[in-house]
Amino acid sequence: MRIHVAEHPLIAHKLTALRDRNTDSPTFRRLSDELVTLLAYEATRDVRVSPLEVQTPVSPARGVRLAAPKPLVVPILRAGLGMLDGMVRLLPTAEVGFLGMVRDEGTLVASTYATRLPDDISDRQCYVLDPMLATGGTLIAAIRLLAARGARDVTAICLLAAPEGIAKLDQELAGHPIPVTVVTAAVDDHLNEHGYIVPGLGDAGDRLYGVV
Ligand SMILES: O=P(O)(O)OC[C@H]1O[C@H](OP(=O)(O)OP(=O)(O)O)[C@H](O)[C@@H]1O
Ligand SMILES: O=c1cc[nH]c(=O)[nH]1
Ligand SMILES: [Mg+2]
């Protein structure tokens, strides 16, 4: 597994505002959207392109365009939905699959309540969106689901990660042939006794959409 912490003053600035408990939901949604676009810039460094020649007003110019097969973007509901628009704005040809997953707040075990993915994704570059990598249970379950459909190229974009979740993911993926990259804005200090990232930003889903 490869982890990339995107260090940039603009990312740090937006992340600080996102963490602030006084940031309201509309602002939290806007900041998540802006942050994913900045992180996607790093996450899509290896996105497949094919050559394309265009005619400028002056002369022919050689360039590229996003190649087929289309990238697959997979937000993990709920909180990952807050990252979807920012991602597809940058990858307009992408298709979108959905995974609904929720973590039991007592046991911290993730369960899947919705799956809507293409049957065979063996040739697709997959971009998983989830703001929080805490214990890692949710992301591990998501990667297992994608691997079961043939995925061989997975990049996860997280706004925040905990060292415990990164270590667990690394351990789970050891011995699996599937290359996984995690791009995040920061690796925080630790998880508290409730499985929350410290200092973190609280419950990302609740801050985006309210407590349900
Ligand atoms: O790394 P983990 O310990 O598995 O925790 C991370 C997960 O917890 C949150 O989702 P939650 O279960 O709160 O669902 P929600 O997005 O619907 O709020 C978050 O969005 C991740 O999916
Ligand atoms: O800190 C955390 C951990 C899991 N899920 C969240 O939304 N926040
Ligand atoms: Mg939540």
Which of 164, 184, 201, 211 gets mutated to test ligand 2 (max ligand atoms within 8 A of its CB)? 201
What is residue 177's predicted lDDT score, i.e. its pLDDT? 78
For the stretch 168-185, pLDDT in tens is: 999 999 878 789 999 999
User: And the tokens for 165?
Assistant: 């979740």
Digit-coded pLDDT (tens) for 41-64: 999 999 999 999 999 999 999 999
**103 counts as catalytic:** yes
148: which residues sit within 8 A by CB, 6+ positions away? none
ipTM, two decimals: 0.98
Annotated catalytic residue 189? no
Residue 35: per-residue pLDDT: 98
131 marked ligand binding residue: yes
Please name each of the domains of the chain with its CATH number.
2-48+67-197+204-208 (3.40.50.2020)
List the one residue out of 31, 1, 7 whose CA is nearest residue 171.
1
The pLDDT assigned to 184 comes to: 98
Is 121 annotated in a binding site? The answer is no
pLDDT tens for each residue of 182-192: 999 999 999 99
Among all ligands shown, which has an atom nearest to the Cα of 158?
1
